[in-house]
Amino acid sequence: MKILGKATLAGTQRYRERHQQDCVEPHFREANDWVISSIGIGTYLGAADSRTDDLVTEAIIESVENGINLIDTAINYRYMRAEWSVSDALLALIRDQLISRDELIICSKGGFIPDHDRISWFYSRYIENSRFSIKPEDLVAECHCLHPEYISDQLERSLDNLGIETIDIYYLHNPEMQLSEVPTEMFYQRLKLAFEVLEKAVSQGKISSYGLATWDGFRVPPSHPNHLDLAAAKAIASQVAPNGTDHFKFLQLPLNATMLEALVQPTQQVKRTWLPVLEAAHRLGLSVISSASIGQTKAIGQIPDPLKGVLDQMPLTPTLQALQFTRSCPKLLTALVGMKTIDHVTENSTLTRIKPLATKFYKGLATTTSTEICS
């Protein structure tokens, strides 16, 4: 039986109130009528084995007990096992009365093939199956599909894997993959059809909101083949929404001390003004969640000069300095960090008791880095 309910304002406020003695007030932020922790737990990395399943489940439970109420996963992470680990964690947390479903923001993604036998799995289930009208040309780069029937089916599989009634944020996963084989006009048509599926899913109570989880689409310049136009995507969402009020509310993209484009590179045009995607998303009414928040450790020890002095004065490990840098970026909602050990959860949750850096410290960063990054 599935866990009923979804994230709500009342539930997430209750979560914040329960943790107010242990977490500083600015650790929690508000978006989409939810109260959301400024750090979220990611579930991307790890082997597809039972030992990793248990580690991820335990890390999620520990995170939720320590002030983190956003959990991010995807159907293809560890060939669906990441979603199963999330499900096990949710069941344990609710069984032990440590949490209510309405206190957590559960996020997943669809678009990639979630099986190690990618092509044969895809063909046998979708192309050779008369239930679907999916064609070989709908598969891009031998691993990615945005066909509406595929997205709809993947969403259903994620709901089953997670064992929940509603996914709070459902992302189309790295949609810019399509642009490696599909003309731009066709890509936005495919995006439109996928958005129609997601708006319908909202109306059916299967998801609460949706977004785009990208790697380089919003960070590369407009001349790049993989560039995504956020304003165009938002306009498409408004167009397909039944009453013009769409539920395209979130972006996920890399941001860390060595990947600064979302903060400083003006890749997006909003009302004839070129802006970095963090600012563009803010103006278009979307919230941004960062992936690769410490760059799989590559960002550790790489804090830019304008902020290095500030962070050096704080009692933080190099890992926490890197995470604090990302978590504090202006206009960012939540910084995701993958965790599979209790020690890592304990270390990273230290930041729940420390205020994010002030916005003023980032103003010099854009001035000193934008020329280099935009070149």
SS3 of the chain: CCECCCCCHHHHHHHHHHCCCCCCHHHEEEECCEEEECEEEECCCCCCCHHHHHHHHHHHHHHHHCCCCEEECCCCHHHHHHHHHHHHHHHHHHHCCCCCHHHCEEEEEECECCCCCHHHHHHHHHHCCCCCCCCHHHCECCCECCCHHHHHHHHHHHHHHHCECCEEEEEEECHHHHHHCCCHHHHHHHHHHHHHHHHHHHHCCCEEEEEEECCCCCCCCCCCCCCCCHHHHHHHHHHHCCCCCCCEEEEEEECECCECHHHHCCCEEECCEEECHHHHHHHCCCEEEEECCCHHHCCCCCCCHHHHHHHHCCCCCHHHHHHHHHHCCCCEEEEEEECCCHHHHHHHHHHHHCCCCCCHHHHHHHHHHHHHHHC
Give residue-wise pLDDT tens across range 199-224.
999 999 999 999 999 999 999 999 99
Average pLDDT over residues 338-342: 96
What pLDDT, on the 0 to 100 scale, is given for residue 370?
40
> Quick one: pLDDT band at residue 332, thresholds 50, 70, 90?
very high
Give domain status of residue 328, yes or no: yes
Q: Give the global pTM.
A: 0.96
Give domain status of residue 4, yes or no: no
Give domain status of residue 112, yes or no: yes
What pLDDT, on the 0 to 100 scale, is given for residue 244?
87
Q: How many residues does the chain have?
A: 375
Residue at 137: amino acid letter: E
> Quick one: pLDDT band at residue 344, thresholds 50, 70, 90?
very high
> Quick one: pLDDT band at residue 64, thresholds 50, 70, 90?
very high
Give domain status of residue 139, yes or no: yes
Give domain status of residue 36, yes or no: yes
Average pLDDT over residues 9-19: 99
What pLDDT, on the 0 to 100 scale, is given for residue 365?
80
Q: In percent, how much of the chain has pLDDT > 90?
A: 94
> Quick one: pLDDT band at residue 366, thresholds 50, 70, 90?
low
What pLDDT, on the 0 to 100 scale, is given for residue 305?
86
Number of domains the chain contains:
1
Give residue-wise pLDDT tens across range 241-290.
998 899 999 999 999 999 999 999 999 999 999 999 999 999 999 999 99
What pLDDT, on the 0 to 100 scale, is given for residue 368?
44
What pLDDT, on the 0 to 100 scale, is given for residue 1?
84
Give domain status of residue 42, yes or no: yes
What pLDDT, on the 0 to 100 scale, is given for residue 77?
98
Q: Is a pLDDT exceeding 90 seen at residue 375?
A: no
Q: Is a pLDDT exceeding 70 seen at residue 374?
A: no
Give domain status of residue 1, yes or no: no
Which domain covers residue 207, as residue numbers? 9-373
Burial class of residue 242 (count of CB atoms within 10 Å of its CB; 0-12, 13-18, 19+) = exposed
Q: What is the mean pLDDT of the chain?
A: 96
What pLDDT, on the 0 to 100 scale, is given for residue 373?
37
Q: In percent, how much of the chain has pLDDT > 70?
A: 97
Give domain status of residue 84, yes or no: yes
What pLDDT, on the 0 to 100 scale, is given for residue 314?
94
- Find the CATH number of the domain harbouring 248: 3.20.20.100
Give residue-wise pLDDT tens across range 163-173.
999 999 999 99
